[in-house]
Amino acid sequence: MRYAMLIIGEEGDWSALSPADVDAEMARIYAWLEKWSAKIDEGGAELDSVKTAKTIRGGVVTDGPFIEAKEVVGGIIFLHTDTIEEAAAIAAEWPGVESGRTTIEVRPTVIR
């Protein structure tokens, strides 16, 4: 089964980090990506800041995200696992989840 990991957090958190802390966090993320590379499917992406988003609602285009929330989707990664529990266990190792800075929503994808 293919599962989507929505990576959710507060955007300000990253801009508050020092360059050295950003590097260290990126190193942890790359280590996670390498560790789970056999389980990661193509198609994931890191999304730019919600400040750069445009929302289309009923034909009207506005600047900004679809919902004003403290926590926003900052990226998406697709996993290939047998069960959602296995996907959730892998997601729980994403850097920053344990400390509570990042929240992950794992969702099954629909195969058409």
Partner 1 sequence: MKYAVLIMNTPLAATLSADEYSAWNGEIFAWYDKYTANGKLADPGNQLDDVSKAKTIRGTTVTDGPFIEAKEVVGGYSVLEADTIDEAVEVAKTWPGVDRGLITLEVRPIVEQPAM
Which residues of this protein are in contact with partner 1, per CB under 8 A? 2, 4, 6, 8, 30, 33-34, 43, 45-48, 50, 52-59, 61, 65-67, 69, 71, 73, 76, 78, 84-85, 87-88, 91-92, 94, 97-100, 103-110, 112
- Pick the closer one to partner 1 by CB: 21 or 98: 98
Shortest distance (Å) from residue 84 CB to partner 1: 6
DSSP state of 48: P
Matching residue, tokens 């300000």: 12
Q: Indicate the residue among 21 and 105 with the shorter CB distance to partner 1.
A: 105
Shortest Å, Cβ 87 to partner 1: 8
Residue with tokens 């729980």: 92
The radius of gyration computed from the CA coordinates of the chain, to the nearest angstrom, equals: 15
- 62 near 55, Cβ under 8 Å? yes
Using CA atoms, how far apart are residues 112 and 102, in angstroms rounded to an integer? 31
Location of structure tokens 């400040």: 51
Toward partner 1, which CB reaches closer, 17 or 33?
A: 33
| In the complex, minimum distance from the CB of residue 22 to partner 1, in angstroms, rounded to a whole number | 13
- Residues 9/72, Cβ–Cβ less than 8 Å: yes
Task: Find the shortest distance in angstroms from Cβ 31 to partner 1.
Answer: 10
